[in-house]
A and B are shown apart, each in its own frame.
Chain A
């Protein structure tokens, strides 16, 4: 029996149900299925994100994320593997801060993704100079970390999770990009609603995300502005 995961006849129906994730929404938890097709499409999007961030092959990158979000993180890891970018991983919580601290002290990371407020606070508690630690890296930080990093003279991108997807907004604040080939985001009443527009394993129809904002056109591209 074949264990190939990149063929439709993947063993154990993995093509159809590659993983079960758990959405953590303001109204509660929702398990959802992702297929191999979803992963491949999300990997293609992740590659575009890294191109946007200026990530280059061969130089190390620090990818921070929680193990419970593997179905969201793996496309980014998969994209980095495809781009031949070595990456060190850590969790976004204070208890794992020594690991991120180690990676940032011992490597000149070309980029740091998923940097959380907990980690930034922990670095400061360790007496680290944020400029010295992060000044040479392109940073994509979670929203709560952005003001602290800006106050330290850094110019982070904002990485925001909206339902099962990550959006990325440049340091100039020109709206967050998302994968429009897979998702539609609307905000008819001020709350961002997420719908899938492609044949994903778990279709979403106007998923209430609990995030307040609006969607604006930037040329032909829709971008999200969070209030």
Chain B
């Protein structure tokens, strides 16, 4: 059972501000336990460690681990799945019957991969805490509980939950913090219901905001004259998940009184989630839950300490399907100094995904580089776009851009191209399509920002 601290306490768990030497010692102890556990039980991990002649006993420290252990990625996992007919890609360390819930990835880049969850309590009335005592703070979900406590969510409040189910019933985390979830969905009328329910219950958190919902709210404001400052008056946090908020949409939410209250939920290398704190100076990578490294995305070489690189993560508390040195393709800026909030764990700022990077005439372009320029044009201000990327190296930057209303398309095409050129110094080819076509191209919480054709 999770004991909540006094409401005026900023941190949920003392481990959040643990002196860094002690934190790294705790991390190493858990890591050495985990690699022995995973090697013994995970066919995938054992195969890849055997392939390089490595045994858990060869690893005596975190430094040994980052120097010696092989990296793993989703392509390898999918290859294992196809070769062995194992839906869990050789990662499952328990019997299938021991799982309670099978979640899955978004499937943006292929057949979704699986996440196994076990719910801690026999009645199912408490969230899982795989790896450590049930519902303890150092758990798969424990990091998210810390992050949401930091936002200021407290018992007795209400929280709007626009949730998909594929990553598990995360509304249970709101309940763990004593918050009553208000269940809403992605139907066209649910956004209108959100307005009414926010005024009625005065919730303190919105989980999870997306470009899709943001566009709907902007449209309601424009057509119905709703005072969004009033709608959001009670909110302590609006959490964007799946993809970050675009620059223009951020300005819109700030105009609605949410400056400083927009939080980014990103993947902690598929170990769990990471959020920024109220300092908004990077997402906290809880290092008692995972090992967070960065590598050179081209060579795979470890980048020590801070800097920009591809995020590589290792589970420390997941006994079901732990990922060991998993590279998920997220390019991040990593920092390891103490955050302004006092937390001592590493934190990172997502920059983009390596799979989204396009090289045009030797120049690197990521979706975030063109996002604001597209939002700056009124007819495309919803920021619904996709870079057409059949391969990484291309001669021309082609962007498919969604538009609203009924503009003069030829003139709009030129204005969008002008705006992007001003931002990145390259003249793009712009394909205009109605907003709806872009929104239909992915799941409702995540638009694929690059497409092959």
Contact = CB atoms under 8 A, between A and B. Distances in A.
A91 B107 contact: no
Contacts, number: 176
B186 interface: yes
B1 interface: yes
B431 to A, nearest CB: 22
Given A58-B97, A78-B124, A1 B181 contact: no
Contacts of A77: 101, 124, 169
Given A14-B175, A20-B158, A81 B184 contact: no
B164 interface: yes
Given A67-B164, A90-B165, A91-B165, A12 B101 contact: no
A19 B172 CA distance: 10
B171 A6 contact: no
B185 interface: yes
Given A18-B175, A77-B124, A12 B185 contact: no
A116 B167 CA distance: 21
Interface string B122-143: 1111100000000100000000
Contact of A95 (B114, B119, B440): B440
Interface in A13-55: 13-14, 17-22, 24, 29, 31, 43
Contact of B155 (A12, A22, A65, A86): A12
Contacts of A71: 183
B350 to A, nearest CB: 24
A24 B187 CA distance: 11
A63 to B, nearest CB: 9
B232 interface: no
Given A65-B165, A67-B165, A88-B104, A102 B183 contact: no
A95 B186 CA distance: 12
Nearest to B441: A95
Contacts of B200: 31
A57 B184 contact: no
Interface in B3-47: 3-4, 6
A35 to B, nearest CB: 10
A1 B155 contact: yes
B163 interface: yes
Interface residues of A, number: 54
Given A14-B175, A21-B183, A78 B4 contact: no
A73 B161 CA distance: 14
B184 A22 contact: yes
B259 interface: no
Contacts of B98: 86
A212 interface: no
A202 interface: no
Nearest to B161: A70
B97 A57 contact: yes
Contacts of A70: 161, 163, 165, 169, 171, 181, 183
Contacts of B363: none
Interface stretch (B62-70, B189-197, B333-341): B189-197
Given A58-B97, A106-B87, A12 B124 contact: no
Contacts of A96: 166, 443
B397 to A, nearest CB: 28
A192 interface: no
Given A77-B169, A86-B99, A89-B165, A4 B183 contact: no
Q: Name, among A5, A67, A80, A84, the residue most crowded by chain B CB atoms within 10 Å (CB to CB).
A: A67
A99 B166 contact: yes
Nearest to A75: B124
A65 B6 CA distance: 37
In the A-B complex, the 9 residue pairs with the closest CB atoms: A68-B185, A12-B178, A12-B155, A81-B124, A11-B178, A58-B97, A106-B87, A88-B102, A86-B99
Interface of A: 1-6, 10-14, 17-22, 24, 29, 31, 43, 57-60, 65-71, 73-74, 77-78, 80-82, 84, 86-91, 95-96, 98-99, 102-103, 106-107
10 contacts: A6-B125, A11-B4, A22-B190, A31-B182, A70-B165, A70-B181, A87-B102, A88-B102, A102-B104, A102-B112
Interface of B: 1-4, 6, 81, 87, 96-104, 107, 111-112, 114, 116, 119, 121-126, 135, 155-158, 161-166, 169, 171, 175-187, 189-190, 193, 197, 200-201, 440, 442-444
